[in-house]
């Protein structure tokens, strides 16, 4: 026969502990640090996939869970119905504007002309360094490891990408490319319209949606045969307003 359990006064009054949580994960802080570095380097928001890769998370659901924590704590704002809408509520320490001049620590890349981001500016078809308007100096970190021989710059005309922190007169740095992944920002030549435009690309059942980052502007739909990707955006030089 087992002995009866002895209950003392102290043990009788002690509350039962259930579901006690361990220490908080460091993932929200890692993501917040990644966001600050990403905004400083690229000047536009990362995608959730960028966060997963940059913070070495196991899935997009883990990233979303921790983004909700940061949002609840007031560190970020975002529109969950749209891609790349994360913004920081805390200001980032300003950096010196990029200087368009020669430097021993800089690289010269060709400025090929203007690209439409809401307006219909024309640029020469294709990437042709021989027709560069000039060359601008950038630091190696602005190329994010890309081959300098495959990088070029365009001046933005219009405000269709304003929510991606790319405004009229800013300079976008692009890597030569003939295709991009869903949701990436690219310079795209539309053959029938004879224009080059800067948009996010989404491939949808044989068509391509060219998505502006401005809620007042409509998407552009075109056939893949009418579209030629010229380059994917690497970084942005924001000019003082």
CA distance 172 to 152: 8
Residues annotated catalytic, as ranges:
160, 199
Roughly how many angstroms between the first and final C-alpha of the chain, as a whole number? Answer: 86
Report the interhelical angle of 60-72 vs 27-42 (nearest 10°).
Answer: 90
Contacts of 209 (CB under 8 A, 6+ apart): 201, 202, 203, 219, 220, 221
How far apart CA 110 and CA 152 sit, in angstroms, is 5
The neighbour count for residue 177, using CB atoms within 10 Å, is 16
What is the widest separation between alpha-carbon atoms in the chain?
A: 97
What kind and span of H or E run contains 32?
Answer: helix 27-42
């Amino acid at each position: 026969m087992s002995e009866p359990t002895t209950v003392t006064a102290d043990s009788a009054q002690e509350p039962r502990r259930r579901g006690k949580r361990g220490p908080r994960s460091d993932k929200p802080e890692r993501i917040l640090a990644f966001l600050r570095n990403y905004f400083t380097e690229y000047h536009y928001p990362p995608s959730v996939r960028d966060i997963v890769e940059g913070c070495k998370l196991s899935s997009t659901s883990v990233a979303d869970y921790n983004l909700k924590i940061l949002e609840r704590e007031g560190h970020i704002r975002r529109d969950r119905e749209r891609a790349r809408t994360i913004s920081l509520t805390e200001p980032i320490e300003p950096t010196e504007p990029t200087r368009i001049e020669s430097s021993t620590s800089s690289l010269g890349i060709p400025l090929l002309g203007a690209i439409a981001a809401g307006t219909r500016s024309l640029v020469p078809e294709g990437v042709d360094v021989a027709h560069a308007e000039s060359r601008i100096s950038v630091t190696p970190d602005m190329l994010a490891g890309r081959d300098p021989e495959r990088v070029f710059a365009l001046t933005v005309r219009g405000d269709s990408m304003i929510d991606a922190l790319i405004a009229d007169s800013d300079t976008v740095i692009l890597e030569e490319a003939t295709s991009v992944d869903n949701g990436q920002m690219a310079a795209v030549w539309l053959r029938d319209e004879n224009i080059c435009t800067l948009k996010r690309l989404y491939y949808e059942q044989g068509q391509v949606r060219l998505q502006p980052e401005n809620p007042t502007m409509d998407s552009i739909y075109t056939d893949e045969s009418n579209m030629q990707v010229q380059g994917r955006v690497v970084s942005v030089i924001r000019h003082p307003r």
